[in-house]
Amino acid sequence: MFESIKNKIEESNKDSSPKNMSFDFKLMFVYHISMMVLFGLRPINNAKDQMLFALMLSIVLVLISIVHKLKSKWSWPGLSILSIPAALFNFLLLYVLFAVAAYAMNPSITPPELQLDSMLLLLKDAWPVILNAISIPVFTPWYLAGIGIVAFNILTSLKLVSLKKTEFEAQCKNS
C-alpha cells in the first residue's frame, strides 16, 4: 500500500520537475523576475515608464512565444467547459486582490464596509483607489507582476499556453 503511494508521489514530482517546465512558463518567469528587479532595485522610478517597460517586455515575450509555437507546429487544443469561467474567475480574483492591496497601501483611504448587497458598489468604488495605488512608482511593479501572473493564468485557462513541456509537446505536430 505504502509503496504505491510512494510511487505516485515520485511520478508526480518527476512530472513537475523544472526540466518539464514549458517554454511559455519560462518566459513568464522572465517577465516576473523583471518586475521584481523593478520593484527591488527601481532602475526606472516613474510609474508610466515602468508600465511602458512592462508593456514592451510583454510584447517581446509574446512574439518570442508565437515564434516558438510556429516553429514547433503547435496547434491549439481548444476550450474545455471550464475554460471561460476559470478565465473570468482569474480576472475577478485579480481585481479583488488589487482592490484589497490598494486600500492597504493607502492608509489615508478608509475601505468601505463589506456587505453582500453593496458588492457591486464596492467593486466600482475600488477602481479609483486601485488607479491611485498603481500610479505610485514604489507599488507599480508589484501590480505589474500581479497582472503578469494572472494574465498567464488566464492564458493557461484558455489553453493558449501550458505549464508543462510534455503538455506543450503533445499539442505539437512534430511530436
**Three-state SS across 28-57?**
HHHHHHHHHHHHHHCCCCCHHHHHHHHHHH
C-alpha cell at 125: 468604488
User: Could you say which DSSP state residue 172 is in?
Assistant: B
Cα angle, residue 57 at apex, residues 64 and 76 outer, rounded to 5°: 40
| Each residue's pLDDT expressed in tens, for the chain with a length of 175 residues | 567 666 666 666 566 677 789 999 999 999 999 999 999 999 999 999 999 999 999 999 999 999 999 999 999 999 889 889 999 999 988 888 888 888 888 777 777 666 666 667 677 788 888 998 899 999 999 999 999 999 999 999 999 999 999 999 999 986 5
* Element housing 157 (H / E): helix 140-157
| CA dihedral (50, 43, 97, 131) positive or negative | negative
Task: Tell me how far apart the alpha carbons of residues 134 and 145 are, in angstroms, rounded to a whole number.
Answer: 11
